[in-house]
Amino acid sequence: MPNKLKLKIDGEYVEANQGDSVLDAAKAADKFIPSLCHVKGLSGVGSCRLCMVEVAGVPRPLPACTTPATEGMVISTVSEKLTKYRRMIMQLLLSERNHVCAVCVSNGNCELQDMATRLGVTHSEFPYRYPRLPVDASHPRFVLDHNRCILCTRCVRVCAEVEGANTWNVVKRGIHSMVAADLNQDWGESDSCTMCGKCVQSCPTGALAIKGKAVEEMTKHTDTVSRLAATRGGTR
Protein backbone atom coordinates (compact mmCIF):
# COMPACT_ATOMS: atom_id res chain seq x y z
CA MET A 1 0.00 0.00 0.00
CA PRO A 2 1.51 3.41 -0.90
CA ASN A 3 2.59 5.81 1.82
CA LYS A 4 2.67 3.08 4.46
CA LEU A 5 5.65 3.01 6.77
CA LYS A 6 7.05 -0.12 8.38
CA LEU A 7 8.54 0.08 11.82
CA LYS A 8 9.26 -2.24 14.69
CA ILE A 9 7.70 -1.68 18.08
CA ASP A 10 8.73 -3.98 20.93
CA GLY A 11 10.03 -6.52 18.45
CA GLU A 12 6.87 -6.54 16.35
CA TYR A 13 6.61 -5.15 12.82
CA VAL A 14 3.80 -2.60 12.54
CA GLU A 15 2.58 -0.31 9.79
CA ALA A 16 1.95 3.39 10.14
CA ASN A 17 0.63 6.13 7.90
CA GLN A 18 2.80 8.97 6.70
CA GLY A 19 2.47 11.77 9.25
CA ASP A 20 1.66 9.44 12.15
CA SER A 21 3.53 9.88 15.39
CA VAL A 22 5.15 6.96 17.16
CA LEU A 23 2.24 7.13 19.64
CA ASP A 24 -0.28 6.86 16.78
CA ALA A 25 1.58 3.87 15.38
CA ALA A 26 1.76 2.17 18.78
CA LYS A 27 -1.93 2.77 19.49
CA ALA A 28 -2.90 1.41 16.07
CA ALA A 29 -0.94 -1.73 16.95
CA ASP A 30 -2.71 -1.99 20.33
CA LYS A 31 0.40 -1.14 22.29
CA PHE A 32 0.00 0.89 25.44
CA ILE A 33 2.19 3.94 25.99
CA PRO A 34 1.26 6.13 28.97
CA SER A 35 0.13 9.60 27.94
CA LEU A 36 -1.70 12.52 29.52
CA CYS A 37 -1.27 15.61 27.37
CA HIS A 38 -2.14 13.81 24.13
CA VAL A 39 -5.67 13.90 22.71
CA LYS A 40 -6.37 12.35 19.35
CA GLY A 41 -7.24 15.13 16.93
CA LEU A 42 -5.35 17.89 18.75
CA SER A 43 -1.80 18.95 17.99
CA GLY A 44 0.94 17.24 19.98
CA VAL A 45 2.99 19.33 22.39
CA GLY A 46 4.90 16.75 24.42
CA SER A 47 4.31 18.52 27.71
CA CYS A 48 3.67 15.67 30.15
CA ARG A 49 6.66 13.55 28.99
CA LEU A 50 4.97 10.33 30.12
CA CYS A 51 5.04 8.83 26.63
CA MET A 52 8.84 8.58 26.50
CA VAL A 53 10.08 5.66 24.38
CA GLU A 54 13.50 4.41 23.37
CA VAL A 55 14.43 4.61 19.71
CA ALA A 56 17.38 2.57 18.40
CA GLY A 57 20.30 4.83 17.57
CA VAL A 58 19.04 7.73 19.68
CA PRO A 59 20.92 8.14 22.97
CA ARG A 60 18.02 9.63 24.95
CA PRO A 61 14.32 8.75 25.29
CA LEU A 62 11.94 10.59 22.96
CA PRO A 63 8.28 11.57 23.51
CA ALA A 64 6.19 9.24 21.34
CA CYS A 65 3.45 11.81 20.77
CA THR A 66 5.69 14.35 19.03
CA THR A 67 8.14 11.98 17.37
CA PRO A 68 7.14 11.21 13.78
CA ALA A 69 7.11 7.55 12.80
CA THR A 70 9.72 6.91 10.12
CA GLU A 71 10.51 3.96 7.90
CA GLY A 72 12.60 1.29 9.63
CA MET A 73 12.42 2.84 13.10
CA VAL A 74 13.03 0.41 15.96
CA ILE A 75 11.21 1.41 19.15
CA SER A 76 11.00 0.05 22.69
CA THR A 77 8.03 1.13 24.76
CA VAL A 78 8.87 -0.96 27.82
CA SER A 79 12.13 -1.05 29.76
CA GLU A 80 13.34 -0.69 33.31
CA LYS A 81 14.66 2.78 32.53
CA LEU A 82 11.37 3.94 30.97
CA THR A 83 9.35 2.59 33.89
CA LYS A 84 11.63 4.48 36.29
CA TYR A 85 11.32 7.71 34.27
CA ARG A 86 7.55 7.45 33.96
CA ARG A 87 7.11 6.84 37.67
CA MET A 88 9.37 9.76 38.45
CA ILE A 89 7.46 12.05 36.08
CA MET A 90 4.16 10.96 37.63
CA GLN A 91 5.51 11.71 41.11
CA LEU A 92 6.67 15.14 40.00
CA LEU A 93 3.21 15.84 38.58
CA LEU A 94 1.60 14.80 41.84
CA SER A 95 3.96 16.82 44.00
CA GLU A 96 3.65 20.03 41.97
CA ARG A 97 0.09 21.02 42.94
CA ASN A 98 -2.65 19.83 45.28
CA HIS A 99 -3.93 16.56 43.87
CA VAL A 100 -5.97 15.48 46.85
CA CYS A 101 -8.31 12.94 45.30
CA ALA A 102 -10.54 12.59 48.36
CA VAL A 103 -11.81 16.15 47.93
CA CYS A 104 -11.79 16.35 44.11
CA VAL A 105 -14.90 16.31 41.95
CA SER A 106 -13.10 14.07 39.44
CA ASN A 107 -12.24 11.38 41.99
CA GLY A 108 -12.88 8.07 40.24
CA ASN A 109 -13.04 9.69 36.80
CA CYS A 110 -9.58 11.21 36.53
CA GLU A 111 -6.94 10.35 33.96
CA LEU A 112 -4.15 11.46 36.30
CA GLN A 113 -5.44 9.19 39.03
CA ASP A 114 -5.89 6.28 36.61
CA MET A 115 -2.41 6.74 35.15
CA ALA A 116 -0.80 6.92 38.60
CA THR A 117 -2.58 3.67 39.50
CA ARG A 118 -1.50 2.03 36.26
CA LEU A 119 2.11 3.07 36.84
CA GLY A 120 2.00 1.85 40.43
CA VAL A 121 2.48 5.32 41.91
CA THR A 122 0.67 5.79 45.20
CA HIS A 123 2.59 8.80 46.53
CA SER A 124 5.48 11.07 45.67
CA GLU A 125 9.00 10.67 46.97
CA PHE A 126 9.57 14.31 46.10
CA PRO A 127 8.51 16.96 48.61
CA TYR A 128 4.96 18.14 48.00
CA ARG A 129 4.89 21.85 47.21
CA TYR A 130 1.36 22.52 48.48
CA PRO A 131 1.03 25.79 46.55
CA ARG A 132 -1.85 28.08 47.44
CA LEU A 133 -3.61 28.49 44.13
CA PRO A 134 -6.94 30.12 43.33
CA VAL A 135 -10.20 28.58 42.19
CA ASP A 136 -11.98 30.58 39.49
CA ALA A 137 -15.72 30.06 39.93
CA SER A 138 -16.69 33.24 38.07
CA HIS A 139 -18.03 31.40 34.99
CA PRO A 140 -21.77 30.73 35.02
CA ARG A 141 -21.43 27.08 33.95
CA PHE A 142 -17.90 25.91 34.72
CA VAL A 143 -15.20 26.12 37.36
CA LEU A 144 -11.39 26.20 37.10
CA ASP A 145 -9.36 24.86 40.01
CA HIS A 146 -5.67 25.62 39.42
CA ASN A 147 -4.78 23.23 42.23
CA ARG A 148 -5.69 20.28 39.99
CA CYS A 149 -4.12 21.53 36.77
CA ILE A 150 -1.18 19.61 35.28
CA LEU A 151 -0.58 22.15 32.50
CA CYS A 152 -1.19 19.61 29.77
CA THR A 153 -2.69 22.47 27.67
CA ARG A 154 -5.44 20.27 26.29
CA CYS A 155 -7.88 23.10 27.11
CA VAL A 156 -5.71 25.64 25.29
CA ARG A 157 -5.44 23.46 22.20
CA VAL A 158 -9.06 22.35 21.95
CA CYS A 159 -10.25 25.93 22.35
CA ALA A 160 -7.92 27.15 19.60
CA GLU A 161 -7.94 24.18 17.24
CA VAL A 162 -11.51 22.86 17.45
CA GLU A 163 -13.69 25.64 18.85
CA GLY A 164 -11.62 28.47 17.35
CA ALA A 165 -12.30 30.74 20.32
CA ASN A 166 -8.70 31.03 21.59
CA THR A 167 -9.91 31.79 25.10
CA TRP A 168 -7.21 29.82 26.92
CA ASN A 169 -3.52 30.61 27.15
CA VAL A 170 -0.65 29.83 29.49
CA VAL A 171 0.79 32.74 31.45
CA LYS A 172 3.97 33.01 33.55
CA ARG A 173 6.95 30.67 33.32
CA GLY A 174 8.20 27.36 34.69
CA ILE A 175 6.72 26.24 37.99
CA HIS A 176 4.60 29.42 38.09
CA SER A 177 2.86 28.70 34.76
CA MET A 178 -0.92 28.81 34.85
CA VAL A 179 -3.71 28.55 32.32
CA ALA A 180 -5.53 31.86 31.92
CA ALA A 181 -8.62 33.07 30.12
CA ASP A 182 -8.21 35.90 27.60
CA LEU A 183 -5.87 38.55 29.04
CA ASN A 184 -5.46 36.72 32.34
CA GLN A 185 -8.85 37.73 33.65
CA ASP A 186 -11.64 35.91 35.46
CA TRP A 187 -13.15 33.26 33.20
CA GLY A 188 -16.59 34.71 33.79
CA GLU A 189 -15.39 38.03 32.34
CA SER A 190 -14.11 36.44 29.13
CA ASP A 191 -15.46 37.94 25.92
CA SER A 192 -14.17 35.10 23.76
CA CYS A 193 -15.53 32.09 25.70
CA THR A 194 -18.43 30.51 23.81
CA MET A 195 -19.43 28.34 26.82
CA CYS A 196 -19.08 25.26 24.61
CA GLY A 197 -17.43 23.21 27.37
CA LYS A 198 -14.87 21.52 25.11
CA CYS A 199 -12.09 22.58 27.48
CA VAL A 200 -13.90 20.89 30.36
CA GLN A 201 -14.43 17.71 28.37
CA SER A 202 -10.75 17.63 27.36
CA CYS A 203 -9.33 18.21 30.83
CA PRO A 204 -7.78 15.01 32.23
CA THR A 205 -8.20 16.01 35.89
CA GLY A 206 -10.61 17.94 38.09
CA ALA A 207 -9.04 21.28 37.08
CA LEU A 208 -11.96 22.07 34.79
CA ALA A 209 -15.39 20.91 35.86
CA ILE A 210 -19.06 21.62 35.35
CA LYS A 211 -20.62 23.53 38.20
CA GLY A 212 -23.06 21.61 40.34
CA LYS A 213 -21.77 18.16 39.42
CA ALA A 214 -21.20 15.67 42.22
CA VAL A 215 -18.17 13.36 42.26
CA GLU A 216 -19.72 10.40 40.45
CA GLU A 217 -21.39 12.68 37.90
CA MET A 218 -18.29 14.55 36.73
CA THR A 219 -17.27 12.35 33.83
CA LYS A 220 -15.37 13.68 30.82
CA HIS A 221 -15.88 12.85 27.15
CA THR A 222 -12.54 13.38 25.47
CA ASP A 223 -13.58 10.95 22.72
CA THR A 224 -16.24 13.46 21.66
CA VAL A 225 -13.52 16.08 21.26
CA SER A 226 -11.55 13.67 19.05
CA ARG A 227 -14.65 12.96 16.94
CA LEU A 228 -15.31 16.67 16.52
CA ALA A 229 -11.69 17.27 15.56
CA ALA A 230 -11.90 14.48 12.97
CA THR A 231 -15.07 15.85 11.39
CA ARG A 232 -13.45 19.28 11.19
CA GLY A 233 -10.50 17.99 9.22
CA GLY A 234 -8.13 16.94 11.98
CA THR A 235 -5.75 14.26 10.89
CA ARG A 236 -3.92 13.24 14.04
> Which residues of the chain form contacts with ligand FES (CB under 6 A)?
35-38, 46-51, 63-65
Would you state the torsion angle of the CA atoms of residues 51, 54, 56, 58, taken in this order, to the nearest 10 degrees?
Answer: 90
193 versus 204: smaller Cβ distance to ligand FES: 204
Helix-strand-coil split of the chain, %, nearest 5: 30, 15, 50
Beta pairing, strands 178-181 & 208-210: unpaired
Smallest separation, CB 217 to ligand FES (Å)? 27
Smallest separation, CB 107 to ligand FES (Å)? 22
Does residue 113 sit in helix, strand or coil?
helix
Smallest separation, CB 103 to ligand FES (Å)? 26
Smallest separation, CB 67 to ligand FES (Å)? 9
61 versus 206: smaller Cβ distance to ligand FES: 61
Neighbour-count burial of 54, counting CB atoms closer than 10 A to its CB (0-12 exposed, 13-18 middle, 19+ buried): middle
35 versus 190: smaller Cβ distance to ligand FES: 35
Which run of H or of E encompasses 200?
helix 198-202
Smallest separation, CB 139 to ligand FES (Å)? 27
Sign of CA dihedral 109, 23, 45, 168: negative
115 versus 162: smaller Cβ distance to ligand FES: 115
- CA distances to 33, 105, 115 from 38, rounded to whole Å, are 11, 22, 13
33 versus 105: smaller Cβ distance to ligand FES: 33
Which run of H or of E encompasses 16?
strand 12-17
Smallest separation, CB 12 to ligand FES (Å)? 21
149 versus 165: smaller Cβ distance to ligand FES: 149
- CA distances to 66, 142, 234 from 168, rounded to whole Å, are 22, 14, 20
**Pairwise CA distance, residues 197 & 172, whole Å:** 24
